[in-house]
Amino acid sequence: MWRLLRTIALGMGIGALAAAPAAAQATHVVRLIADARKDDYRFEPASLTVRPNDVIVFRVVSGAPHSVVFEGEGLSPGVRGAINSAMPGRSGDLSSPLLTAVGKEYRMVVPQVPAGKYAFYCLPHRAYDMRGSITID
């Protein structure tokens, strides 16, 4: 009897999941570009709009090494922790590891944080103003 009830409950749970509106998980690619001859240092696109659980792929296209470091100013401890948790293999607070080769990719899943704009920069090219932002819907 209990097993039957549990089976029914599980079935209902799955049904409820299937009925929920499909929260599509989008993947966004951000290219990391640096060309000293052209004085060109940028994230491309430099700004993008994302949703929690979307995937962002930072892809090194030229001019390695690069990194992705979120601006910490004004972040609450909770938000800071959520962003840190979303960044695999961090090299420090809010910092990706150094992306040392062309073709290297760094993936992160957008954390559940309040809607708003979150700025980041590339540490090796910070002096060249290589920066970008995500706006979380």
Say how many residues make up the chain.
Answer: 137
What's the closest the beta carbon of residue 68 comes to Cu ion, in angstroms? Answer: 9
**Closer to Cu ion by Cβ: residue 30 or 130:** 130
Q: Which two tokens stand for residue 133?
A: 């932002």
List contacts with Cu ion (CB under 5 A): 66, 122, 125, 130
What's the closest the beta carbon of residue 78 comes to Cu ion, in angstroms? Answer: 29
Q: How far apart are CA 43 and CA 32, in angstroms?
A: 5
**Closer to Cu ion by Cβ: residue 59 or 125:** 125
**Closer to Cu ion by Cβ: residue 60 or 83:** 60
Report the alpha-carbon angle 113-70-91, nearest 5: 110
Neighbours of 74 (CB within 10 A): 10
What's the closest the beta carbon of residue 123 comes to Cu ion, in angstroms? Answer: 8
